[in-house]
Amino acid sequence: MITNIRTLYAPVQPTVKQTASNVSYVEFLPDAKLQPLIYCYWQLKTTEKLNEEFIYRVVADGCIDIYFELDNPHNSYVMGFCKQYTEFPLENSFNYVGVRFLPTMFPQLFGISAIELSDRFEELRSVIPSTSIFIANNLTEKLSPKQIKETLDRYFLKRLSEITFNNDIRLYGAIEIILNKSGAINIETELDTGISPRQLRRLFEFYIGDTAKTFNKIVRFQQILQAKPSQQSLKGNKLFLENGYYDQAHFIKEFKNLYGITPGKAF
| Residues 45 and 84 placed together within one structural domain of the fold | yes
pTM over 0.95: no
- Maximum Cα–Cα distance across the chain: 56
3-state SS, residue 44: strand
User: How many domains does the chain contain in total?
Assistant: 2
Provide the residue range defining the domain that includes 122. Answer: 5-161
121: phi then psi, degrees, rounded to nearest 5: -120, 150
d(CA 170, CA 180): 15
| Residues 70 and 45 placed together within one structural domain of the fold | yes
| Residues 65 and 180 placed together within one structural domain of the fold | no
| Residues 197 and 141 placed together within one structural domain of the fold | no
Residue where a domain stops, chosen among 161, 179, 194: 161
Residue where a domain stops, chosen among 161, 191, 223: 161
Residue where a domain stops, chosen among 142, 161, 180: 161
The pLDDT tens digits for 29-86 are: 999 999 999 999 999 999 999 999 999 999 999 999 999 999 999 999 999 999 999 9
| Residues 37 and 156 placed together within one structural domain of the fold | yes
The pLDDT tens digits for 231-252 are: 555 665 566 666 667 677 888 8
| Residues 71 and 130 placed together within one structural domain of the fold | yes
The number of C-alpha atoms within 13 Å of 145 and in the hemisphere containing its C-beta is 16
